[in-house]
Structure 1
């Protein structure tokens, strides 16, 4: 049996900003294109089972277009007799499972939806069996992930089991949803494969002969995400896992280190010399003396004039204080960036200060547009990324 495993698809995602902007509309399409590429592979790669270990959707409330297009892609798998098994992630999780759109898709014959439930005395773990293999889904357990993994491990019989859980191996308890390595190891002799997710970069555990796999999100949820992204194909007969990189929008990354004046002129010259590919996401990291004043919005705008779909500038300042006059010439966003990335109080955050700046920008934008439902999701992805750096 050949099993395809993907996760964190985030269909329906629109980056925070004007919903009708070219950038927002293009990125909305990108998530569908990336998932369709995986579906295309499944149809041409002799796949028997198609697993999505959480966050098929970006939100628990989806629009009609997202639902219709998801049905169309899942319908192609159904026509090819490829069984689709899905669990909820933290983004598409409903407090009442009966209200989940995944349950609707199960009732309409597009997939098998697996979710544990607690009857007041203990957990019940629904199972789907096919080809001599039992599939169990734990959904997104949050802080309860270790408890559910332990309880399931005690009940599993034999070794022909596959577990789907929206979690990843973690070495700390900073955020909910990461499983401790000890609890994961307890599954080692009772499973063929654990299909994980939640974090957006490829990971596996343990080293040597891993059985817990996180393939990474096919597309960039956050443009600064690092690590490999794609999907896995697990051959149960060979016991072999193959990783396939996903198809996603091109991202160009550049770095410019300026240690001489005039800083602005040197940066402008660097930007003008860049070969920007049409429609790409451009990430530019600039290292400058601490007292330099940059007009980041102008630079980002120039990169977009040169062809970028969207550009993002990250400024790293050397350990030099910014003068009072320097602060007076900065905008609010630049001051926030300076405080969070260079002040003594936040110095232990290191590079994470830039992530905090982007987080603040996103939260402000959500409030200005009245999109309060984005607040928790924005915090979620920040914490996920921070956990990924710490794990």
Structure 2
């Protein structure tokens, strides 16, 4: 019997830029992408859809996001195509006394949320999915056993042995929100390839999520066993370099054949402009305009682009003179981007006592100030760099306008119950 399914991940529903004038357009991008995947699933008459974590961008979503998600998933429900999902690190809700939105979707029958229970000794117990409660560790569809394991933190590799010990049969599917080092572009939540390899003995297809870049993991004999489709929409700057899409998978007599279906995300551009030697802000703006014009998309996609602009070089005027608002006005004239992020790494180049002197740029000054504040506290000894990265990450999220208070608290709260 031939079985077909779609494997997608990292949809990040609810993401937008709250500081952008057209935030509703960006908000809708992610739902439009899910709508297209759902339509394809119905057109292809697949047997089920897998979502390998991060359905939502944050655990604390707005009611309108929940309602819009139901609207997107409703056609799957009406077509009797099961949508099987696990929780990613973005879906995780740090206030566990509250029901999560993922759990609510599962109870309502829009997804089948898979989550194993734990034994007293720390092992895993995958119990059958219970529709009336909307929870379980595995589900069987047309003879295939699909096991689910969401985000379990930075030590996922050390859990593989216990995961395999809990599975009695072979030839299964595992839905797992984790990355594999050397393949995944993310910095945390990965495990080493050698740590992941034992999964291939129990599972013919490991459906990964977490990293937004597509990749396939092979055993030493060249046989693939783990697949990450990446995110179908560009979520963060830098992802414009990656192929975007999801997998359409066919299982025939135990043989898995995957086909990468490309999607069409909103155009995104990251560019660096060197303004070295500019004498004043007006000259810098003129040079910026001349340098960026040839790089802009022309006639390929009529959607407004997402733009990250990094300015570098040593200039002879104070970088603060090239303020964000002045730069935004210029960029609006040039390409009217949907959203723009500006990284001003210009440094002031002065002449003192007949000698030239370069001052630190704003980003370096900010980093040094935060580092001094952290190192001044003895209880932070040994964690300085970790806390510095966290502090700067929180600053970046606030400046991008992506986070609410609960989201920032979630960045500070480790999911200890998932360890």
* Structure 1 residues 137 and 336: alpha-carbon distance in aligned structure 2, compared to 1, 3 A threshold: same
Instruction: Output aligned runs, 1:62-101, within 5 Å.
Output: 62-94=61-93, 96=96, 99-101=99-101
Counterpart position of 1:215:
229
Instruction: Output aligned runs, 1:1-391, within 5 Å.
Output: 1-15=3-17, 17-18=18-19, 21-94=20-93, 96=96, 99-121=99-121, 122-125=123-126, 126-170=137-181, 176-206=188-218, 208-225=222-239, 226-237=241-252, 238-258=255-275, 261=278, 264=284, 265-271=286-292, 275=296, 279-289=304-314, 294=319, 295=322, 297=324, 298-306=326-334, 307-314=336-343, 322-323=349-350, 335-336=362-363, 360-363=395-398, 371-375=404-408
Comparing 108-117 with 265-274, greater Cα deviation is found at 265-274
Counterpart position of 2:129:
none
Partners in 2 of 1:177 and 1:78 — Cα distance? Answer: 32
* Structure 1 residues 336 and 259: alpha-carbon distance in aligned structure 2, compared to 1, 3 A threshold: closer
> What RMSD over aligned residues (CA atoms) do the two structures have, in Å?
3.7
Partners in 1 of 2:173 and 2:317 — Cα distance? Answer: 55
Partners in 2 of 1:112 and 1:38 — Cα distance? Answer: 17
In structure 2, the residue corresponding to 1:211 is in which secondary structure? strand
Structure of greater Rg? 2
Which protein has the bigger helix share? 1
* Structure 1 residues 23 and 97: alpha-carbon distance in aligned structure 2, compared to 1, 3 A threshold: same
- What runs of 5+ residues in structure 2 fail to find an aligned partner? 127-136, 373-387, 414-419
In the TM superposition, residue 123 of structure 1 has moved relative to its aligned partner by: 2.2
Determine if contact 2:60/2:93 at 8 Å carries over to the other structure.
no
- What runs of 5+ residues in structure 1 fail to find an aligned partner? 346-352, 381-391
Determine if contact 1:304/1:310 at 8 Å carries over to the other structure.
no
Partners in 2 of 1:85 and 1:220 — Cα distance? Answer: 23
Determine if contact 1:234/1:241 at 8 Å carries over to the other structure.
yes
Partners in 1 of 2:316 and 2:230 — Cα distance? Answer: 39
Q: TM-score, normalised by structure 1?
A: 0.78
Determine if contact 1:363/1:378 at 8 Å carries over to the other structure.
no
In the TM superposition, residue 224 of structure 1 has moved relative to its aligned partner by: 3.2
Q: TM-score, normalised by structure 2?
A: 0.74
Comparing 27-36 with 265-274, greater Cα deviation is found at 265-274
Partners in 2 of 1:242 and 1:27 — Cα distance? Answer: 28
* Number of corresponding residues: 359
Determine if contact 1:304/1:311 at 8 Å carries over to the other structure.
no
